[in-house]
A = this chain, B = another copy of it.
Amino acid sequence: MSEHVKKLNADSDVKIVDATLRDGGIVNSFRFPRGFADALYRANLAAGVDIMEFGYKVSKKMFDVNKFGEWKFCDEDAIRAVVGENATNMKIAVMSDVGRVDLKCEVLPVSESVIDVYRIASYCHQIEEAAGMVEYCNKMGYFTTCNIMAISKNDVSTLKGALEVIAKSPVDVIYIVDSFGSLYPDDILRVCDLYGETAYKYGKKLGVHAHNNQQLAFANTIAAYSKGVEYLDATVSGIGRGAGNCYLESLIGYLRNPKYRIEPVLEFVREHMTPLKKSGVEWGYDVPYLLTGLRNVHPYAAIDFLKAGREDYEEFLREITEDK
């Protein structure tokens, strides 16, 4: 019964996207220890990661540079200090949320930038604006993705409408994002079919970004992979907002694809993630995240619950059930 050990998926189309600095940065306001980003870059290169997301590109007019570390803004110089001209096969990505940046003020032509990929994060109701941002980045020469957030809150027809809009844009990859960690693997399979219907019609690829509220981030990611989703987000030790994300080390272990190596990630866990956790940075599964996942509400409620030192789970469950 160990057929899976022999599983060898040499499908060169799978792409691992490391979102450690970006989604992890939400946990500590992007204030990582000195040397963290450099070591992660080297680990990702050695592990064969395809795309490394450095952080957000947001407007400095809207966010105070004194309140966040450098990966909230991803200046070209900050990235270059880590990667030089990045003369490697690994692509560099940044994420921009609709409404939090004027890309026309920020985006250089790709030939002048060390960035390769813009990932546009959008709620369904902002999809027209997201499509505009995609179009702009595409014109400037970038590979683009659109990450449609909080889809567990949308009905199928709203989501279909949004998919139609973004699939008609020049976007390269459309992402399934389980923002609230509320989806189960069987939901993911259905969502993949729904996304595929529109995306493949327009020649787009699919990606997946899962959250670990119910300890299903990895299971949901490999469920999507089984449906042909090619862009798989993960973070080292699952670091990310609240319950965190799919563990990069689990994903590489599962894929058994010769282009990836798990050892550099294991080394990074020991040298950088364990000390980060010991320093007091908090992320990962906990009961309140399970409950917000179950009730399909934003994990902020759980983060606040934990910050307040509360343990009255039953009352919390009532609160988030009534809020719905």
Interface of A with B (CB < 8 Å)? Answer: 1-5, 151-156, 159, 182-187, 190-191, 194, 212, 214-216, 218-219, 222-223, 226, 247, 249-250, 253-254, 262-263, 266-267, 269-270, 274, 287, 290-291, 294, 296, 311-314, 317
25 A-B Cβ contacts within 8 A? Answer: A1-B152, A1-B154, A1-B155, A1-B183, A1-B191, A2-B152, A3-B190, A4-B187, A185-B185, A185-B222, A186-B226, A214-B254, A215-B219, A216-B218, A216-B219, A219-B219, A247-B290, A250-B290, A253-B290, A253-B294, A262-B317, A263-B317, A266-B287, A267-B314, A269-B313
Q: Which residue of B lies closest to A223 (CB)?
A: B185
The minimal Cβ–Cβ distance linking A153 to chain B, given in whole angstroms, is 7
- Decide if the interface of chain A is mainly helix, strand, loop or mixed: helix
8 further A-B contacts with Cβ under 8 Å, apart from A1-B183, A219-B219, are: A3-B187, A185-B223, A214-B250, A214-B253, A215-B218, A215-B247, A216-B219, A266-B287
- Kindly list chain B residues whose C-beta atoms are within 8 Å of the C-beta of A2: 152-153, 182, 296
- Kindly list chain B residues whose C-beta atoms are within 8 Å of the C-beta of A4: 182-184, 186-187
Is the pair B215, A270 in contact by a Cβ cutoff of 8 Å?
no
Is the pair A222, B184 in contact by a Cβ cutoff of 8 Å?
yes
The minimal Cβ–Cβ distance linking A187 to chain B, given in whole angstroms, is 5
The minimal Cβ–Cβ distance linking A290 to chain B, given in whole angstroms, is 6
The minimal Cβ–Cβ distance linking A284 to chain B, given in whole angstroms, is 9
- Kindly list chain B residues whose C-beta atoms are within 8 Å of the C-beta of A223: 185
Q: How many copies does the complex hold?
A: 2
Q: Which residue of B lies closest to A312 (CB)?
A: B270
- Kindly list chain B residues whose C-beta atoms are within 8 Å of the C-beta of A216: 218-219
Is the pair B263, A1 in contact by a Cβ cutoff of 8 Å?
no
* Distance, CA A247 to CA B243, complexed state (A): 15
Choice from B215, B249, B317 contacting A287 with Cβ under 8 Å = B249
* Distance, CA A198 to CA B218, complexed state (A): 31
The minimal Cβ–Cβ distance linking A281 to chain B, given in whole angstroms, is 17
- Kindly list chain B residues whose C-beta atoms are within 8 Å of the C-beta of A153: 1-2
The minimal Cβ–Cβ distance linking A305 to chain B, given in whole angstroms, is 12
* Distance, CA A316 to CA B186, complexed state (A): 35
Is the pair B215, A250 in contact by a Cβ cutoff of 8 Å?
yes
Q: Which residue of B lies closest to A247 (CB)?
A: B215
- Kindly list chain B residues whose C-beta atoms are within 8 Å of the C-beta of A212: 215
With A250-B290, A274-B311, A290-B253 already in contact, the answer to whether A296 and B185 are too (CB < 8 A) is no
- Kindly list chain B residues whose C-beta atoms are within 8 Å of the C-beta of A187: 1, 3-4
- Kindly list chain B residues whose C-beta atoms are within 8 Å of the C-beta of A214: 218, 250, 253-254
